[in-house]
């Protein structure tokens, strides 16, 4: 193999090795706020203190480490308004709002804390009440910071509020899940590229020897 080919092979192998490791990213640990239409969650465009949900709305909260709204984890669970508010009958002059409160996973929890089990609740409120009012009715104690950022629901977490943390993401997680933990398509293609490059380099070296 020529020296140039060897260098190319080494560079490609380093690039492939780097692509298989976890990517470091900066995220924030916080409660994200969601609205649901049918079975689809949408990241809320305003905060719970200003959102005024209509009667029979479903609102969700998820505690997790996220880089931004595109990366945020959605609330889990399939229960809809009818199921969540089955035990809360309608009353004239009041609205009902279903809440899905997902306390997240242990990996997203602050050090020394354990997330409670996720739960749902139905709040019966005045027509102009906000989502924050709904939370206050069914999920106390709540905690806010000086900038009105929601820090804790039901007392969780006990400390912290939107703090910056280092998180890890595996680029090939979906591929690994589909293949049962085997190598991802990108890795297989990379290995094939190395084999092709090595064969070409060997052919070129033989050509020079016999030329």
- What are the residues whose beta carbons fall under 8 Å from the beta carbon of 165, sequence distance 6 or more? 26, 27, 28, 29, 65
Percentage of the residues of the chain whose pLDDT score is greater than 70: 67
Q: Are residues 8 and 40 in the same domain?
A: no
For the residues 185-200, what does the mean pLDDT come to?
Answer: 38
- Say whether pLDDT at 95 is over 50: yes
Q: Are residues 108 and 143 in the same domain?
A: yes
**pLDDT, tens digit, for every residue of 20-40?**
445 556 799 999 999 999 989
Q: What is the CA radius of gyration of the chain?
A: 26
Q: Are residues 61 and 160 in the same domain?
A: yes
- Look up the domain containing 159 and give its range: 23-168
Half-sphere CA count of 144, side-chain side, radius 13 A: 10
Instruction: Specify which residues 164 forms β-bridges with.
Output: 28
């Amino acid at each position: 193999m020529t020296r140039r080919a060897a260098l190319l092979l080494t560079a490609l192998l380093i690039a492939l090795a780097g692509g298989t490791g976890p990517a470091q990213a900066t995220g924030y640990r916080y409660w994200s706020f969601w609205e649901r239409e049918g079975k689809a969650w949408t990241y809320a465009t305003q905060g719970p203190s200003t959102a005024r949900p209509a009667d029979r709305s479903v609102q969700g909260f998820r505690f997790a480490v996220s880089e931004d709204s595109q990366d945020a984890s959605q609330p889990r669970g399939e229960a809809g308004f009818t199921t969540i508010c089955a035990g809360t009958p309608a009353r004239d002059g009041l609205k009902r709002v279903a809440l899905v409160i997902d306390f997240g996973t242990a990996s997203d929890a602050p050090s020394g804390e354990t997330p409670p089990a996720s739960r749902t609740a139905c709040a019966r409120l005045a027509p102009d009440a906000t989502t924050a009012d709904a939370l206050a009715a069914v999920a106390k104690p709540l905690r806010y910071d000086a900038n009105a950022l929601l820090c804790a629901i039901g007392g969780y977490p006990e400390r912290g509020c939107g703090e910056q943390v280092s998180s890890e993401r595996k680029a090939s997680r979906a591929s690994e899940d589909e293949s049962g933990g085997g190598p991802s398509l990108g890795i297989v293609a990379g290995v094939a590229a190395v084999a092709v490059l090595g064969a070409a380099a060997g052919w070129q070296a033989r050509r020079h020897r016999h030329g």
